[in-house]
Chains A and B, each alone.
Chain A
Amino acid sequence: MRAVLRCFAPALLLALSLPALAEPYLAVANGYKCGQCHVNPTGGGERTVFGEIFAQTALPAQHLDTGADLWTGQLNRFIALGGDLRYDLEAQQVPKTRTTNQFSLEQARVYLSASVIPDRLLVYVDEQVAPGGALNREAWAMYWSAGHTWYVKGGQMYLPFGLRLEDQSAFVKQVTGINMTTPDDAVEVGWEKGPIDLQLAVGNGTAGGSPSSNGKQESLQLQYVASRFRIGTAANFNGSSAQGSRDAFGVFGGLRTGPIAWLAEADIVNDHGLPSGPGGGSRKLATLVEANWSPARGHNLKVTYEYLDPDREVANDQQTRWSFVYEFTPIQFVQLRFGARLNDGIPQLPAEHLKLYFVQLHGFF
């Protein structure tokens, strides 16, 4: 234990000096870039040694000390392992429909990485092992420059576009079609210099489907990360489908004010070639504003407001969603989440009035 603590003392000290928790709001609350806690510089998935230590010391209300070494994810000098499990009890209420409730395994994922050339060349796999059959989410190799100022990543990956939220059903994630359920076969080049992050990715654009043409998807993201705030912009063009193309533009950012970490994103998505809408296309707008209040270590209250205009040429069809999620992390690697998501939409469509209540057991390492 002492050896491990000595080894990771700088990271541990830094983590212990910080007030709070994980996800994009944690990065905002602490002034981190995504790559501080995740091996992927654009965030999500396996944690770095720093991220693992942070998750065990700064995140939980209490660090359960059994005298064993701290988990760092490192099986040896080259191989690292991680995982994530979310198990839900949820109830869904939709007008004119019988209320349903069920236990369900939302996801169980395993992350495995090999630093085949330490600090320079990383091979990474993110496998969803449940529910259902195994599903490869990410599988890529990444080469870093000597000073870690730029990298090249190739394989199946999530494309850079906006905030990498945990909730993949958020309007900004669904409408853009760029989220953690739609990895793409792509090559990504990243440049990181001081507070500036820049990524450019080019991929098949088929979101898991088979390529049907030689069209490609390009995604560009630029972000400025300061200790108290960050601001970014992203653009995406997908010309992979013979039936139509899509372009998307977004601005996003974060701000820390006292104990509250704010996140915001606004995306415009234009589909060309669809028969719906005047001119044979559709123009969508999705926004998100989120406040995370961490009154004490191990506790976080997340309030999110979302807005969706599914077709800007059509009046009176907008949808909104409020989410209230309380996250309690009693000990390291274990989190309990209690939430309600309240949708509102047009009266004609009951499904747009979904009220979802859930309790989630979230385990991660």
Chain B
Amino acid sequence: MQIPTSTLGLAGATALLCACAGNGDGLNSQGEPGTPGSTPTQLTADFQSIQDNVFTPICTRCHEGASAPEGLQLDAAHSYALLVGVPSSEVPTLTRVKPGDPDDSYIILKLEGASGIVGQQMPYGGPYLPSSTIDVIRSWIASGAPQSSPAAAAAAFAVVATSPADAAVLPAAPRTLVVAFNREVDQSLLNSGSVMLERDTAEGPLTVPVAIGAAPGNPSTVLLSPLQTLGVGSYRLRVRGTGPAPIADLSAQGLGIDTTAQFRVAGEP
């Protein structure tokens, strides 16, 4: 069979265009800009180590940014809030990370390719994590899946996410509202004066009664369950950082400002 010259030309041009992999100069042991030549960090059973050795270098190839599969962003800024105590979207009866119970944590089932998962074993296409690495993640979950992030500890206490998000329009009334903080909240300060749900009416804001509590196993996340069905209308989720009953973390650091998320329920539940 005769190969046309155009084919040979294209093959040659392609070969010339083929760039090589990076040599890693100037990157730290996690492949990020940092101290060159730093010694690899040993994987240990704490969240920061798992983030640095597993989630950031391996999982974020796909699970990053607005188009992350299943909405699960595993970069350092979002992974903890979206993993711990959060139901899996593939199998909603299972929690992605159930503190204290690795066998019932969906992340472990997905990493092991266990029966009962939906879709493929992770990381997609491999290499699959060695059992020693999965065992470390198991240990972290078994110990309660604490956050223990130095960065979070150093940062100012803040709300990192709400659900519904600000400006959201919901097709149906939510049964649970979520406020995620960057570290553990002083639960003694959780009350109807510090976290509240208001409904906009012609007469002004009307407080909607809610049950308030920390998410099971994730004390940096607060759940609000409306005690009445939310009808069609406009609502405001308000977290007090000022005034007589402000929210604070365990070291009494407050938010400093009120945080609000306005959302609208467009349809009945």
Contact = CB atoms under 8 A, between A and B. Distances in A.
Interface residues of A, number: 81
A349 B57 CA distance: 8
B66 interface: yes
Interface of B: 1-4, 6-7, 10-11, 14, 17-33, 40, 57-58, 61-62, 64-73, 75-78, 89-91, 113, 115-121, 124-128, 130, 161-169
Interface in A263-281: 269, 271, 274-276
B70 A168 contact: no
Contacts of B68: 177, 207, 209, 241
A181 B31 contact: no
Interface in A166-181: 168-169, 174-178, 181
Interface string A309-329: 010001111111000000000
B23 A346 contact: yes
Contacts of B89: 208-210
Determine the main DSSP class of B at the interface with A: loop
A346 B31 contact: yes
A246 B65 contact: yes
A271 B169 contact: no
A346 B31 CA distance: 7
A213 B77 CA distance: 18
B7 A257 contact: yes
B21 A181 contact: no
A282 B11 CA distance: 32
B65 A182 contact: no
A239 B168 CA distance: 12
A11 B73 CA distance: 46
A84 interface: no
Contact of A276 (B10, B32, B62): B32
A248 B67 CA distance: 10
Given A257-B6, A316-B24, A346-B27, A207 B125 contact: no
A289 interface: yes
A318 B19 contact: yes
A307 B19 contact: yes
A271 B166 CA distance: 20
A131 B77 contact: no
Contact of B169 (A128, A208, A214, A243): A214
A257 B11 CA distance: 11
B21 A345 contact: yes
A320 B18 contact: yes
A245 B68 CA distance: 11
A283 to B, nearest CB: 11
A238 interface: yes
A132 interface: yes
Contacts of A169: 124-125
Interface stretch (A45-53, A94-102, A145-153): A94-102
Which of A175, A291, A295, A352 has the most chain B CB within a 10 Å cutoff?
A352
B196 to A, nearest CB: 20
A347 interface: yes
